[in-house]
Amino acid sequence: MRISVDAMGGDFAPKEIVAGSIQAAEKLQGLEKLYLVGDEAAIQAELDLHKGPIPPCIEIFHCTEVVDMGDSPATAIRRKKDSSIARSVELVKDGKADAVFSAGNTGAAVAAATLKLRTLKGVSRPAIATIMPTPEKPFVLLDAGANPDSTPEMIQQYAVMGSIYSQEILGVTKPSVGLLSIGEEDAKGNETTKKTFRLLQATDVNFIGNVESRDMYGGKVSVAVCDGFVGNVVLKTSEAVAKMIGNWLKDMFKQNIFRIIGYIFARGVFKEMKSHADPSSYGGAPLLGANGVVIIGHGSSNAFATFNGIRVASEAISHDVNHLIEDELRRINPET
């Protein structure tokens, strides 16, 4: 397996990205090549800080530009042709890499993948699939922001792609698929969800009908599908609520000595909760439907998140997820 890594993408690049890449090169089986794409001097400086030999599969791919978080995605890809994210994706396009991981500008990663790799046969637009934690098992939410104006046909494709990803990567047998709406009844929702509902009924996935937000976190579904506008609002609201509750707990435990003592006895539980909900352990969000494996990490990705992003990329390669998606979509729509 050959994976390209956008070494300059993210809030803590290149330090954390390089550190996580070294961990991946040391621990993951089957890595033939790991390209660190970005400013050669900056990347080499981080490699020089590593205690011990650098794994031979690591190779620096030099480029001169970086897409900043505030850059307009499409404009940045057109104007910054020698950016780390553009060159990382091009390595996949040129057949030198099988997958790409980037924790940089999400819009730019989506734009680069869409423009340079195109889509799989039968896929209208690629979708961001985010792994969301629940008390029992994680579920896949898509689209989480790539396509704010998704059509019913696109959401049908999301259901197929998310179901395959849940089965192959998360190990869920016969994943349940729910359509995110404002009520469980068949007639609830807008025109897009109503038409999507009928399409999903005729699709060979384990469709259980409409679901509400509470159903997702209650473990009712393995895959929740919606348009990118709704999905991104759900994702960011969930992150904000989780952060707010965490801050509340910290403030409450500091109010008196008895609560501090209580926290000391319970901190193992809180540590376990934090680990369970930590997005770093899931590595990143796959851009399903792109003609190549693309994993998009959180902007605040640390070395642990980078390691897991590369791990998820390697699993997607080994499970041949993209070919499974193409085969299933071709079976559903033979004319595509």
* pLDDT value of position 189: 84
pTM equals 0.89
What values do phi and psi take at 6, rounded to 5? -75, 95
- What gap in Å lies between CA 32 and CA 199, rounded to an integer? 42
- Residue 279 DSSP class: G
C-beta of residue 228 within 8 angstroms of C-beta of residue 146 = yes
C-beta of residue 223 within 8 angstroms of C-beta of residue 134 = no
* pLDDT value of position 276: 63
Q: Split the chain (336 residues) into runs of 10 and give each run's mean pLDDT.
A: 95 95 94 96 95 94 92 86 95 96 93 93 93 85 91 95 93 94 85 93 93 86 94 87 82 84 78 67 87 92 94 93 91 73
What values do phi and psi take at 334, rounded to 5? -60, -25
* pLDDT value of position 99: 97
C-beta of residue 124 within 8 angstroms of C-beta of residue 154 = yes
Q: How many other C-beta atoms can be found within 10 angstroms of the C-beta atom of residue 230? A: 22
Burial 75-112 (b: 16+ CB within 10 A, else e): ebbeebeebbbbbbbbbbbeeebbbbbbbbbbbbbbbb
